Amino acid sequence: MKILIIGACKMGQKIVKTMSLEDCEITVVDSEEKVLAEINANSKVKTVLGNGLDRSLLKKLDVEDFDFVVSLTSSDKINILICTMAKNLGAKFTIALIEQADSIDELFYLRDSLGIDYIINPDLEIARTVEKIVKDKLVYQSDSFGKGKIEVVGHYVENDIEFEDEKIKDIGSIATLLIVAVQRGNELIIPNGDTVIKKYDYLYLMGLSNDIMSFKMKYFRFEPKQEKEKIVIVGGGGVSKKIAEMIDDYNITIVERDYEKVVELRKKYPNLFVVKRDFMGADFLKDEEIDDVDVFIALTDNDELNIVLGMMAKKTSIPQVMIKLDTMGYSQIIDGLDFTAVLNPITLSANKIIRKLRDDRTISTQLVFNGEAEISEIQLLDSSELIGKSIADISLPKGILIGGITRENNTAVIPRGNSKIEKGDTLVVFYKSENRRQLEKFVSPNSGKSFLEKFFM
C-alpha cells in the first residue's frame, strides 16, 4: 500500500509512526526541512521537501500510483485544493483535514460537492467520542472490537481491597477478563499474572462484552434517573456545537463568556440553555448549581483552564468528567486525576485516519494511552504460521499481548495459555508503540514484510 501524506504536522507524525510498522510505502511532503528531518530520524519513510500545491511535484511523485493521498496542512483551503488536484491527476482515495466547518451537515456537503473521498474534522471526532461515553454511561472511556463482541475499559484503583497489593492471577473477580496494561504514574506496564496491582494504578481491561458489562455493574457508579440527564459544557466553540447536534435528548447547558458566541449559540440552538458567564473564578461551579449534573465537559481553548475546571468538577462528585487537551504536555499532572476521558483532537483524528487507511486490509487500530500503545484487530490469512498453535507456544516479543480472538463462526474468546488459534481467526493485539524498533528485528531482511505481517498475515 502506498500512502502520500502532505503536511508533516503532529497528526501526520502519529500516522507515520503507526503505519511505518507495516508493509506500507509512505511518502511525506512538507515545506519545512526541520520537520522532515525529525520524521526521518524516527521512521523509515521517504520525505520530500516541497509544496503540496505544486502540480508538477504531484505529477513527479506519480500521485496516481498512491492508494491514499492525505492532506494535513494547517489550511483547510489548501487541503481541499490538494485533494481536488490529486483526484484530477488520478489519485485513488483522498483524505482532507477540515478544521473550520461550522456544522456536521457542512462537512458532508464539502465532501460530496468537492469530490473528496473522506474528510477528517477534529471537533467532530471529539463530539463522537463524547456521544459514545455519554450514551453508554461510561465512567471511563472504552472501546469495542470484534464487531462489538470484545471491549476494553479502564478502571482506576482506589480503595479497592480486591485489587490493591494483589497479583493479577489471584484476583478472582476478573477471572474472565484480561488486564492488558497497567499505567502506574508515568509508566505503562504490560503485565503478566505475577504483576502486583498497586493503589492508584489505572488498569486497562479486555473482555467479552457481557463480562465487561458485569464488571461495570459491579465497580462503576450507575444511578438510574427518570428525567433527562444534565450535561454542562464549558466553552462554546466548534466541539460544543457538534455535541449539541449529536446529543439532543439531554438537558445541555453551555457556559460561554464571549457575548457574540452566546448570541450565536442561542440563535442556532434554541433548545439549549446558553449562559454567559466568566468561568475563571473559584466559585464558578458553585454558582452554576451543578449538584445534579451528570456530565461535565471542559472544552475551552486553554489546556490549563480545562484541567483546573475538570479538577473542580471531580471534587463535586459529578459521575462523568471530560476535558479537552490540545497538547499532551501535561501528562504528569493529569495522571491519577481520574477523568472519564482526556480528549485530544490530534490523537482522536489520527486514530480515525489510520482506521480508514486500513479498511481494505481488514486491520483496525486504536491508539491508546496518548499514542504510547496501540490495539490492532488483525484477520489471519489461511497460510498464517500461528494457526493450530496455542497462545503459550507463541514467543511474542516483550510488550506484545494477544488480548482477544474472534472466530470465523462469529464467536469470541479471551485467550488463556491453552487457547488455540484457529483458521479464520481475527486477533485483537495490544502492544506498546515504544517497542517498534525491537519489533523490526523480527522482520526478515529479504522479505520486506512488517512484523505484523510476519506473525499474523
Distance CA(250)–CA(163), nearest Å, equals: 35
- Give pLDDT tens digits for 164-202: 999 999 998 788 999 999 988 778 899 988 999 998 888
Distance CA(332)–CA(95), nearest Å, equals: 34
Q: Are 121 and 245 in contact (CB under 8 A)?
A: no
Give the Å distances, CA to CA, from 88 to 83, 94, 98, 133, 153: 9, 11, 20, 40, 44
CATH 3.40.50.720 domain span(s) along the chain: 2-120, 128-132+224-344
Q: How far is C-alpha 44 from the chain's CA centre?
A: 24
440: pLDDT strictly greater than 60: no
Q: Are 96 and 120 in contact (CB under 8 A)?
A: yes
Q: What is the average pLDDT across 23-49?
A: 89
The angle formed by the CA atoms of residues 319, 321 and 326, to the nearest 5 degrees, is 170
- Give pLDDT tens digits for 397-434: 788 888 899 998 889 999 988 999 999 888 888 888 77
**Pairing of the two strands 150-156 and 202-208:** antiparallel
- Give pLDDT tens digits for 265-300: 999 988 889 999 887 765 666 655 566 788 999 999
Question: Rg for the chain (alpha carbons), in Å?
Answer: 23
Highest CATH level, class, for 128-132+224-344: alpha beta
- The total of other beta-carbon atoms located within 10 Å of residue 272's CB is 20
- Give pLDDT tens digits for 87-138: 999 999 999 999 988 778 888 888 888 889 999 999 999 999 999 888 766 5
Q: Are 70 and 45 in contact (CB under 8 A)?
A: no
CATH 3.30.70.1450 domain span(s) along the chain: 149-202+212-219, 380-456
Distance CA(94)–CA(64), nearest Å, equals: 11
Question: Which of the following CATH numbers is that of domain 2-120: 3.40.640.10, 3.40.1160.10, 3.40.50.720, 2.40.50.70?
Answer: 3.40.50.720
Report the predicted TM-score, pTM, of the whole model to 2 decimal places: 0.73
Does domain 380-456 fall under CATH 3.30.590.10? My reply is no
- pLDDT level of residue 436 (50, 70, 90 thresholds): low
What does the mean pLDDT of the chain come to?
Answer: 84
Burial class of 356 by CB neighbour count within 10 A (0 to 12, 13 to 18, 19+): middle
Distance CA(226)–CA(237), nearest Å, equals: 30
Of the candidates 433, 376, 438, 381, the one whose C-alpha atom is nearest the C-alpha of residue 403 is 376
Q: Which CATH architecture has domain 149-202+212-219?
A: 2-Layer Sandwich (3.30)
453: pLDDT strictly greater than 60: no
Return the amino acid letter for 303.
D
What confidence score (pLDDT) does residue 332 get?
67
* All cell numbers assigned to 99: 478544521
